[in-house]
Structure 1
């Protein structure tokens, strides 16, 4: 009887976390839009906040680690081919698209490096929930997102050096260190706390999506405030670049899933794992290694990919599977 109550309680807590995640993803674009508007209208309010961006990103990644379970990693072992296909698609399609779009639109070196850096980032933190809303293969989505995040210190810096090095100097070694400190270590810390805390942390799970959404919103406000003057002249061009990058990523990710015969659910998961990026990491790295202007594409991407992801998920969910 006690075991049944425990399982029922765990299910209710998991359901509460899932509902909170759905609400957070739905309202996230509005939060980020408000944060961007605040950074643009009152940039002086965020003077000196740039140094806090890596720590803020660390909070987001710590929350991500808290939501992970051993089941997420076992899913990789069950379907290594599908996960490998997702990783290759993610780290080939989006970096390649970033480089091509930078050339196509003749972006300035700072903006070109920023667009490419967004493409070289791991999967977005909201991709799993959006996949769920689209009635896609959530297990595959979680596996690809988890592994792409863990591999980011090894993959993102050399890709950025290869593709953005023609625009700006790239210190790949320093970038590896930064990703380890702001991504991998916080994720591992979250995993450890989740393991040690066990059931006691389940009640906190519904709060984590909101904490992540609010923290990313603050990052966007800081990044926008740092390049407020440049936004007025470059915003339209950056928006076009971001829409092309994200839209083509979603479409090609879905196509990669179909070519890989992952089925409709797997193809939907691939669409969001390829098209949605960890733009918070890209903004942090761009601010630290390039300039606030180079972080502008990541700030715009952070807003747009959640809007487009929600719209695409709503459309796909109505199509059935």
Structure 2
């Protein structure tokens, strides 16, 4: 498909700004605290990088989706948590420090894991191999290095050198992310306007099941691994709230298929609806905590 300058240039820049915001919320002490007590971080990382994408492949196979929509589901599952997960964790009374650390580490780790999981989806989803789509490791590594790793490092450096300035800038990052997300969803709707209703009706049930399954998996995994209630909330939110801006960036600029990006657009809407329920449940859970 023909890409507009907004997607080719504006989307990577907007995502980089969002990732700077994540860096602005991090300090070296955050990593030191988790390093001294790493069990919750290990549980969250294993779940996010292994179990969540595996569940995504399973959901994609379970529903009768077109190969491109199914690959979109896999791509969503392989994407890390977004900056919004930190805000939702805060509102739900979860462990915000753990949420931020998981977002930062998984955002860097997916530079390698995301192409591998997408390739696995291409191999297992019926008909996907015939479409000749892939996420090239080299191209994806370079793209994610530029829009994730470097911006996060810049944000952390700014936080260390000018904390008051960093605090002011951080307030606007969420607004940028929301505006970009809305613009992307509108763009997808316009690009697929002739069949948008059918596509949403097809992928909607799969995406709803996917989001709920991620949240339940996060909470259950954290409970089984004997994490505290605040940590259970953080892991559940981190699994369920995805960086769908990144998902759509990959779908548009690397894969070049709007149908793949549609799964991320629908997931974005679903995850914000369920996040209200998570916040309500998290607050009730913490009120009854010992």
Aligning the two structures, in what range does the TM-score lie when normalised by the shorter sequence?
Answer: 0.7 to 0.9
DSSP 3-state at the match of 2:107: helix
Name the counterpart of 2:178.
213
In structure 2, distance between residues paired with 1:56 and 1:208: 9
**1:279 lines up with 2:279 in the alignment:** no
Aligned residues between the structures: 276
- Partner residue of 2:259 out of 280, 293, 297: 293
Name the counterpart of 1:87.
45
The answer to whether the 8 Å contact 1:227/1:296 transfers is no
After superposition, residues 53-132 of structure 1 pair within 5 angstroms as: 53-132=11-90
**1:158 lines up with 2:113 in the alignment:** no
- Label 1:156 to 1:312 Cα distance change in 2 as closer, same or farther (>3 A): same
Alpha-carbon shift at residue 238 of structure 1 (Å) = 1.4
Name the counterpart of 1:204.
169
- Partner residue of 2:221 out of 230, 252, 256: 256
TM-score (norm 1): 0.80
TM-score (norm 2): 0.88
Alpha-carbon shift at residue 209 of structure 1 (Å) = 2.3
In structure 2, distance between residues paired with 1:299 and 1:153: 21
Name the counterpart of 2:96.
138
1:174-202 per-residue CA deviation (whole Å, 9 max, x = no partner) reads: 22222112222222222223333333333
Name the counterpart of 1:317.
283
DSSP 3-state at the match of 1:49: helix
The answer to whether the 8 Å contact 1:134/1:316 transfers is yes
The answer to whether the 8 Å contact 1:66/1:187 transfers is yes
Alpha-carbon shift at residue 48 of structure 1 (Å) = 5.0
Name the counterpart of 1:169.
133
In structure 2, distance between residues paired with 1:156 and 1:76: 24
Structure 1: 5+ residue stretches without partners: 1-45
- Label 1:89 to 1:201 Cα distance change in 2 as closer, same or farther (>3 A): closer
In structure 1, distance between residues paired with 2:165 and 2:249: 32
Deviates more, 1:74-83 or 1:224-233: 224-233
In structure 2, distance between residues paired with 1:48 and 1:229: 23
Alpha-carbon shift at residue 165 of structure 1 (Å) = 4.2
In structure 2, distance between residues paired with 1:229 and 1:75: 52
- Partner residue of 2:274 out of 295, 304, 308: 308
In structure 2, distance between residues paired with 1:172 and 1:164: 14
Alpha-carbon shift at residue 47 of structure 1 (Å) = 5.4
Structure 2: 5+ residue stretches without partners: none
The answer to whether the 8 Å contact 1:95/1:159 transfers is yes
Alpha-carbon shift at residue 78 of structure 1 (Å) = 2.2
Taking only aligned residues, the RMSD between alpha carbons, in angstroms, comes to 2.0
The answer to whether the 8 Å contact 2:22/2:155 transfers is yes
In structure 1, distance between residues paired with 2:158 and 2:188: 30
